[in-house]
A = this chain, B = another copy of it.
Amino acid sequence: MIEVHTAKDIQKLAKNYRKKGKTIGFVPTMGFLHEGHMSLVKKARKDNDIVVMSIFVNPMQFGPGEDYDAYPRDLERDRTLAEEGGVDVLFTPGAEEMYQQESTVIVNVKKRTDVLCGRSREGHFDGVATVLTKLFNLTSPTRVYFGMKDAQQVAVVDGLLNDFFMDIELIPVDTMREDDGLAKSSRNVNLSASERSEAPALYQALQQGARLIREGERNPDAIKKEIRTLLEKTSGVIDYADIYSYPDLETMETLSGKIIIAVAVQFSKARLIDNIIVNIPLDQKEDL
């Protein structure tokens, strides 16, 4: 595994691979790698000649109240995991490398942001889209890999690639789950034992939503109501339980086409999120 730190070096390296006809699978991360990241690497490894991973805690996507400095970092462990996972090139720039001057231009995300997690994180997706534009221009990827756990981020990346005609294929990777259905997350360790036993309720509620649709329900409010009822049985506080079109993330009066059911629940020391994508009519593939 090669590790590079500068924009110049990664750009030169990536251009060289592409010039030789190699495909590049790119996995952008903020480090502190877990199984979710490694499932992206595994998929990228299978699809491409070269796998590039970036580890960069992007200051621009943290709001004033959010703790950029306290974001967990463990570069040494990440390096080992990346190498074991088959990453060819690890890009680990500093903030001064990615933001070399006070920004003249940024990417401003106009849609798909004022719902779900984006509602409470103003400017967050501008930071995500801006740093990804930089990273894409540096790593010349054939394909980019994102986890569907953060379905809103995938929707924003989809808009970014399409609107700007970036010649990159977006590969959303299914959320990894524990045996009882709980979506894997670094935050799960912050659940108490009793909260951990309640936590599968998120995925069960989503599945119940899908079941109602399968049975013919097309009214989002009826489905949301039932999901809330299930989530209210936990000790957590519901942040949202919503249904939108996907990836446009627009509200619907009657469900049709590709939709997302998404929930967020605040437990005492961990905020859990989860979602599923459902295609209506249901004769299509059920997960994105």
> Which residues in A have some Cβ–Cβ distance to B below 8 Å?
7, 11, 15, 100-112, 126, 129, 133-134, 137-138, 156, 158-160, 162-167
Contacts and interface: CB of A to CB of B under 8 A. Distances in A.
9 contacts: A100-B162, A102-B111, A104-B109, A104-B156, A104-B159, A105-B110, A105-B159, A106-B163, A108-B108
A137 B165 contact: yes
A228 to B, nearest CB: 29
A283 to B, nearest CB: 26
A158 B105 CA distance: 10
A133 B138 CA distance: 15
Contacts of A108: 105-108, 126
B111 A163 contact: no
Given A15-B167, A167-B11, A167-B15, A104 B162 contact: yes
Number of copies: 2
Output the residue of A107, A156, A159 with the most chain B CB within 10 A.
A107
A167 B137 contact: yes
Contact of A104 (B11, B111, B134, B167): B111
Output the residue of A103, A105, A107, A160 with the most chain B CB within 10 A.
A105
A111 to B, nearest CB: 5
Contacts of A156: 104-105
A22 to B, nearest CB: 12
A163 B103 contact: yes
Contacts of A159: 104-105
A240 to B, nearest CB: 21
The 5 closest A-B pairs by CB, nearest first: A104-B159, A108-B108, A137-B165, A104-B111, A105-B163
A256 B151 CA distance: 50
Given A104-B109, A110-B103, A7 B165 contact: yes
A102 B126 CA distance: 17
A164 B139 CA distance: 12
Contacts of A100: 162
A100 B159 CA distance: 11
Nearest to A126: B108
A137 B111 contact: no
